[in-house]
Structure formats: C-alpha cells, structure tokens
C-alpha cells in the first residue's frame, strides 16, 4: 500500500458548490475542485447519509435473504437486509439493529461490524456499514408503509456459489456475503 504522503499528491480541493437537487434520499450537487496540477474541474456528486447491510447468519449456516422490488432496476432483486441511516449522526450499528428488526423481525445477540462498502466512489457519497448478525431470535416484523418484501433462509455456501455464477447482482449483498464466507473459512470469525 502506498504512503499517505503519496496519496496526498492525488487529492482534489473543494472550491465551490452548486445545489442541483435535494430530495428525500439523495442530494445532487455540482462541485468545482482544484486538481493536483492546480487546474479546476467539475464533480457531480450524489450526497447520501449512508446505509447499512446486515448478514443474518443462523447457527446452521443459513442466511436470511430478502426479495424486494427495486424500481430503479425495474425488477425484484435478491438482497440482504439493509437500510439507510436516519440521520448524519446515527451510529451505523444502531441502524443495523433497527433495520434487521424492522425488515425481518430478528434480534441479534451478537452484532459484529465488518467495515464499509462504497458502491460507486466516483459519483456517490454513500458508505454502507457491513454487519454480521448472529445469535438470532425471532420477533415481529415492522416494515415501513412503502416497503414490501419476502424473506427466505438459504445456506451461505449456496449463496456464494450463486454470486460466483452471476445470479446475485446486488453489490452490497455480494460484498457482505463473500466477506463473511471468507472470514469464516479462515477462522477469523
């Protein structure tokens, strides 16, 4: 890995911002930046509070997955439980606990943070906290009024094979499942 000093030579500096759109979930801005060579450039960025994705892993090696219609893709997607942060200051682990309970009814006796996933670093400011939920107990589902989904339990090993065959396309789901699988295989979890 390169040194931080070398990385600093690649940094761009903020000059000004133009607001383009401010919606419920996304905030689109056009920033002017100074490049490392002192020229200026424009960067269009979608600002986002952030989100979480949770791998609910049962003791038998199965994972609770969701099927949910995603309007932007025009189809039902196969994903892990996930959701956005409610505010800029919200603790991602607290959001993961909330989203897991609301979408699946599950409560985790053990919640392990596994780092972050950045879905599209060139244009999207979203960072997704990745969590492993274990020691699961069932409870009541409490979906948002505009949220509709189905859940099913599947073996982690089968899900990894589906990712490798290109059958699970959601990036956060791929990243989180593969991370958990490899950490388990290497005895690090």
Question: What Cα–Cα distance (Å) separates residue 140 from each residue in 32, 36, 60, 124, 137?
Answer: 48, 53, 22, 33, 10
Give CA–CA dist 100/187, Å, rounded.
25
Cα angle at 116 between 108 and 94, to 5 degrees?
35
66 in active site: no
Give CA–CA dist 113/158, Å, rounded.
23
Which among 11, 135, 147, 152 is annotated as catalytic? 152
Concatenated DSSP letters of 120-155: -TTTB---EEEEEEEEEE-------TT--EEEEEEE
Residue 77 φ/ψ, nearest 5 degrees = -115, 150
- What positions carry a catalytic annotation? 152
């Amino acid at each position: 890995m390169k040194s931080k000093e070398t990385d600093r030579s690649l940094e761009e500096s903020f000059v000004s911002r133009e607001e383009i759109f401010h919606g419920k979930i996304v905030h689109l801005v056009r920033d002017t930046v100074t490049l490392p060579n002192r020229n200026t450039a424009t960067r269009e960025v979608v600002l986002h509070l952030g989100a979480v994705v949770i791998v609910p892993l049962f003791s038998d090696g199965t994972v609770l997955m969701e099927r949910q219609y995603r309007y932007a893709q025009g189809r039902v997607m196969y994903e892990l439980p996930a959701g956005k942060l409610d505010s800029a200051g919200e603790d991602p682990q607290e959001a993961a606990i909330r989203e897991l309970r609301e979408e699946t009814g599950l409560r985790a006796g053990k919640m392990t943070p596994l780092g972050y996933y950045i879905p599209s670093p060139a244009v999207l400011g979203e960072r997704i906290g990745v969590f492993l939920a274990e020691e699961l107990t069932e409870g009541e589902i409490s979906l948002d009024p505009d949220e509709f989904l189905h859940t099913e339990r599947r073996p982690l090993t089968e899900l990894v094979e589906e990712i490798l065959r290109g059958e699970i396309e959601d990036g956060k789901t791929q990243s989180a499942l593969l991370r958990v699988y490899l950490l388990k295989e290497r005895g690090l979890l």
